[in-house]
């Protein structure tokens, strides 16, 4: 599902104009991004949680040449699925 698909689905299910649905979806995504940028954690009960994970600098290998390379420290967004969503997916037979 793409963002456009999500906007269209919201507009259809809640009987609102696509422009309103677009504004709602963009506001939610912007709020999630702003919260993560601020270093805070987001928890949506029944769905999951978003947080920033920090990874230390490490030594890796170039898979092509086999030479050692330094992989710099970085921060990455991480999503952990919630219990209710996990159970819903498992019980649906989708996997």
Domain housing 14: 1-40
| DSSP letter assigned to residue 71 | E
Residue 81 has pLDDT above 90, yes or no: yes
Q: What is the CATH number of the domain that holds 80?
A: 4.10.520.10
| Domains identified in the chain, total number | 2
What is the average per-residue pLDDT within 59-80?
Answer: 94
In a domain, 46, yes or no: no
Is 67 inside a domain boundary? yes
Co-location of 58 and 34 in the same domain: no
Q: Is 48 within 8 Å of 85 (Cβ atoms)?
A: yes
CB 38, CB 75: distance < 8 Å? no
Sheet holding 48-55, edge to edge: 42-44, 48-55, 74-81
pLDDT bucket at 53, cuts 50 / 70 / 90: very high
């Amino acid at each position: 599902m793409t963002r456009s698909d999500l906007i269209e689905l919201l507009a259809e299910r809640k009987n609102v104009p696509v422009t309103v649905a677009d504004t709602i979806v963009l506001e939610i995504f912007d709020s999630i991004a702003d919260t993560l940028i601020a270093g805070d954690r987001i928890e949506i009960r029944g769905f999951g949680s978003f947080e920033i994970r920090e990874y230390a600098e490490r030594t890796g290998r170039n898979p092509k040449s086999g030479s050692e390379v330094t992989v710099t420290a970085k921060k990455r967004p991480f999503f952990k699925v919630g219990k209710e969503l996990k159970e819903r997916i498992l019980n649906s037979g989708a996997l």
